Amino acid sequence: MELSIDRLTKHYGHKIAVDRVSATLGPGVYGLLGANGAGKTTLMRMLCAILEPTSGEVRLDGKDVVGMGPAYRDVLGYLPQDFGYYPSYTAAEFLSYIAALKGIPREAAGKRVKELLGMLDLTAVADKKIKTFSGGMKQRVGIAQALLNNPQVLILDEPTSGLDPKERVRLRNLLSEYAGDKIVILSTHIVSDVEAIADVVFVMNKGQFLVHGTVQELAEQVRGRVWELTVPREQARLWQEDFTVANYRHEGERVVLRIISDEKPSDGAVPCEPILDDAYLYYFGAKEA
């Protein structure tokens, strides 16, 4: 199975939301990382054939996904950033309703709904109305509906929004296991969401892919640009004004800064082992990220 993105572009008047994006994706987990407004949601909506591109195309195994119509929707699962639901429905009722819309036979739908409620730790609240749910519980219902038809292509826009740390780990494990022979694409601006499970990470800004590669490959690109420097506490703010500071921690009356810089920021700075978070901050800067 192969999802091919060929020079995909979307204009809104004079504004370019997505600018000639190309990639070829096989089975695995792909992380789409970028600041808000980078073009991630627009790209994902075109990948789902919800939004018509200005130019370019998306093909699944050589077939244009727009031309495939219902055949593409049969193999697609999608969680939008803000998914719609009926507040007065219970979780089980809502998932059964979505299963019917997807054309899943009733008996198979019943088994799948029960399975997904268990996988996403919703069994205990299956018969409670969604309007009574917390934000994280609603998000898990949204993830469940995206998985109903056991899709070959699963596209999730900010899937961990509202989830607590335990739920985020559960979702990461679920997606990693699910992606054995399927294509999973998740968009986020939270680096740790993709760092643990993504086979390939695409860093997106201003509608284009800046770089892509494995987590290790992207981290390696900023080797020699990540530094640790210990300064008096009263000087920490000055360093933050002049440099991208990824992290700082207090040690008594001094502060240890993790600085992203092409040049050694001070004679006292020592090089650090880079991580994906450093690469993200290198490309976006602390304020934009």
Q: In this structure, are residues 239 and 245 in contact, taking their beta carbons and an 8 Å threshold?
A: yes
* 117-176 confidence digits (pLDDT tens): 999 999 999 999 999 999 999 999 999 999 999 999 999 999 988 888 899 998 999 999
Q: What are phi and psi of 249, to 5 degrees?
A: -135, 145
Q: Can you give the pLDDT at residue 289?
A: 47
* Burial category of 27 from C-beta neighbours within 10 Å (exposed 0-12, middle 13-18, buried 19 and up): middle
DSSP symbols for 154-170 = EEEESTTTT--HHHHHH
Is residue 148 located within the same domain as residue 16?
yes
Alpha carbon 41 to its chain's center: 10
Does 263 score more than 90 pLDDT? yes
Which range of residues forms the domain containing residue 248?
A: 224-273
Is residue 52 located within the same domain as residue 141?
yes
Does 2 score more than 90 pLDDT? yes
Pairing of strands 15-25, 28-33: unpaired
Is residue 140 located within the same domain as residue 60?
yes
Number of domains in the chain: 2
Is residue 49 located within the same domain as residue 125?
yes
Q: What is the pTM of this model?
A: 0.90
